[in-house]
């Protein structure tokens, strides 16, 4: 196998998958870092966002790329409503109750998608999209847009967290919620903003997953383990860690096919998750320990 074949058939798909995992992992790491619990409905929230985009494409004859920001906004609103209805009243209770509630929310979201859109796989558009050569690198336009858009979203979020007042408030609440409250941070507003960001990025992750493969009602749940593995590998609560973790998980999954049957590809995320919990539970960037 030549170097170009290795890049075209394994590295590029790994980077695309990794960028999608990174978007999902950022939402997971923000929710855990600020709200202190693991959100198991995150994968199905991504599925909901992907199908909302599909609904907009079918109802208004929009391009999938035009439908994406609307789907992100709608999913962000749904995330805020889910927090208000299902999670907020559990704030003072043991966090395990919120985690279990998130499993119920995951099943509810999946059922809504299945009732509205059915259980058969679907696509945003039909037809064959051929890869184009860029100096020997074979890339489809949707792969380029996926990676560029994911990179842009990550850079925008990191700039927001570093330089804006609300971003600094989110970081303060992540470090010490009680001290942040004493310093005048509106914790309820920060919580709401956290859900807006997590919901929007989950929708983007689901959309990119669907447009690069196909839409099915279990795709978010199937990707959830990889997203959690990415968040933990990078360091829970660290956005840059989620990005690095997502890219590593995506690359390892694709490269594992060189030595393992393809049906075991997704198991590599589980292996990495177990190893990082045993060897370095704080992750690469020394995040919070689960």
> What structural domains does the chain harbor?
3-122+144-279 (1.10.3470.10)
Distance CA 46, CA 256 (A): 25
272, 252 in Cβ contact below 8 A? yes
pLDDT digits (tens, 9 = 90+) for 86-124: 999 998 899 999 999 999 999 999 999 999 999 999 999
161, 39 in Cβ contact below 8 A? no
Mean model confidence pLDDT for the chain: 92
- How confident is residue 184, by pLDDT bands cut at 50, 70 and 90? confident
Distance CA 141, CA 139 (A): 7
pLDDT digits (tens, 9 = 90+) for 201-253: 999 999 999 999 999 999 999 999 999 999 999 998 889 999 999 999 999 99
- Contacts of residue 282, defined as CB under 8 A and 6 or more positions apart, other chains included, come to 235, 288, 289
Distance CA 143, CA 73 (A): 23
Is pLDDT at 127 greater than 90 in this prediction? no
- How confident is residue 165, by pLDDT bands cut at 50, 70 and 90? very high
Worst-scoring range by mean pLDDT, 6-15, 69-78, 94-103, 273-282?
273-282
Give me 46's structure tokens. Answer: 């991504």
Please give the DSSP secondary-structure letter assigned to residue 34.
Answer: H
- Contacts of residue 257, defined as CB under 8 A and 6 or more positions apart, other chains included, come to 10, 265
Is pLDDT at 290 greater than 60 in this prediction? no
Indicate the pTM of the whole model: 0.95
Predicted confidence at residue 236, as pLDDT, reads 87
């Amino acid at each position: 196998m030549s170097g170009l074949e290795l890049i075209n058939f394994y590295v590029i798909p790994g980077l695309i998958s990794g960028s999608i995992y990174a978007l999902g992992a950022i939402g997971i790491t923000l929710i855990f870092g600020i709200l202190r619990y693991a959100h198991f409905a995150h994968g199905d929230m991504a599925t909901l966002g992907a199908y909302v985009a599909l609904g907009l494409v079918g109802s208004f004859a929009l391009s999938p790329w035009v439908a994406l920001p609307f789907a992100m906004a709608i999913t962000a609103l749904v995330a805020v409503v889910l927090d208000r209805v299902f999670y907020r009243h559990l704030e003072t209770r043991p966090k395990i109750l919120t985690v279990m509630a998130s499993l119920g929310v995951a099943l509810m979201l999946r059922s809504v998608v299945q009732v509205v859109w059915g259980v058969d796989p679907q696509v945003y558009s039909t037809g064959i999209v051929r890869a184009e050569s860029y100096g020997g690198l074979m890339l489809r336009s949707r792969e380029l847009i996926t990676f560029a858009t994911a990179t842009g979203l990550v850079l925008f979020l990191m700039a927001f967290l570093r330089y804006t007042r609300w971003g600094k408030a989110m970081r303060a609440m992540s470090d010490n919620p009680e001290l942040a409250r004493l310093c005048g941070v509106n914790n309820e507003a920060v919580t709401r903003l956290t859900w807006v960001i997590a919901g929007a990025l989950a929708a983007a992750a689901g959309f990119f997953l669907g447009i690069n493969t196909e839409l099915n009602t279990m795709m978010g749940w199937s990707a959830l383990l990889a997203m959690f593995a990415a968040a933990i590998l990078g360091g829970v609560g660290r956005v840059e860690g989620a990005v690095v973790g997502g890219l590593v998980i995506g690359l390892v999954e694709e490269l594992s096919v060189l030595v393992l049957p393809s049906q075991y590809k997704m198991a590599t995320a589980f292996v990495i998750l177990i190893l990082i919990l045993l060897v370095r539970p704080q992750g690469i960037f020394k995040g919070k320990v689960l």
